[in-house]
Amino acid sequence: MTAFSACFRREAGSFGSDVRGLNRVHQFDKVEIVQLVHPDTSYEVHQQMIDHVEALLISLELPYRILRLCAGDMSFTSALTYDFEVYSAAQQKWLEVSSVSNFEAFQTNRMKIRFKGEDGKTQLLHSLNGSSLALPRIVACLLENNQTENGIQLPKVLQNYFGSCNID
């Protein structure tokens, strides 16, 4: 399942250069990827979701890295989370653009999403969630990392949509 959604953040007390501009906007759009799967396949599906997001970043020709979060950096609902970060040339730092998480049965237990196994016993599905890419940060990194003397060189995957190789 996918969902295009407008996201809203309330950042009470936030201030400073880290939260200005496209770094920490209060409203942004993103595409969520969600899967409800059999517990036996949830980690295989999780890897497929990770591969999907990585393929998006590769196609956009952006410098990126993937971080496996430690327990202290994950929400208590997640069993395993990977963050994707893209390098911001202007800010000279890595910005998170996606997270892909396996929540195992935490969310499905609360939603009571169950199935009957072959043995007839009721079991909980596993839920997985990822953001395909946070659009404001991706746009910023595309503009920052692709500057040339002749304007901004677009990645090949976007050139047909834009109708040009460059933004002049």
If one counts the domains in the chain, the total is 1
Question: Within 13 Å of residue 140, how many CA atoms lie on the same side as its CB?
Answer: 25
Domain residues for the domain of 80 are 2-167
Of 100, 91, 166, 165, give the one whose Cα is nearest residue 132: 100
Could you report how far apart the first and last alpha carbons of the chain are, in Å? 37
Give the type of residue at 12: A
Under the banding of pLDDT at 50, 70 and 90, the label for residue 156 is very high
Share of the chain above pLDDT 90, in %: 64
The residue annotated as part of the active site, out of 88, 98, 104, 137, is 137
**pLDDT at res. 13:** 47
89-126, pLDDT tens digit by residue?
888 999 999 999 999 999 999 999 999 999 999 999 99
Tell me how far apart the alpha carbons of residues 120 and 41 are, in angstroms, rounded to a whole number: 19
Which CATH number does the domain housing residue 121 bear? 3.30.930.10
The single-letter code of the amino acid at 148 is T
| The predicted structure's pLDDT at residue 126 | 97
> Which residue in the block uniquely carries the two structure tokens 């809203």?
8
- Residue 96 is a catalytic residue: yes
9 counts as catalytic: yes
- The pLDDT, as a whole number, for residue 29 is 76
Query: Catalytic residue among 24, 32, 61, 144, which?
Result: 24
- In the predicted model, what is the mean pLDDT of residues 3-22? 60
17 vs 8: which has the higher pLDDT? 8
- In the set 9, 20, 65, 68, the catalytic residue is 9
73 vs 152: CA distance, rounded Å: 35
pLDDT at 16: 54
**Could you report the per-residue pLDDT of 18-63, keeping only the tens digit for each?**
555 555 566 777 788 899 999 999 999 999 999 999 999 999 999 9
Which of these is catalytic: 14, 44, 96, 164?
96
Q: Rounded mean pLDDT of the chain?
A: 88
- The reported pLDDT for the residue numbered 12 is 45
Instruction: Tell me the whole-structure pTM to 2 decimals.
Output: 0.85
Q: Spot the catalytic one: 99, 101, 127, 132.
A: 99
pLDDT at position 60 is: 96
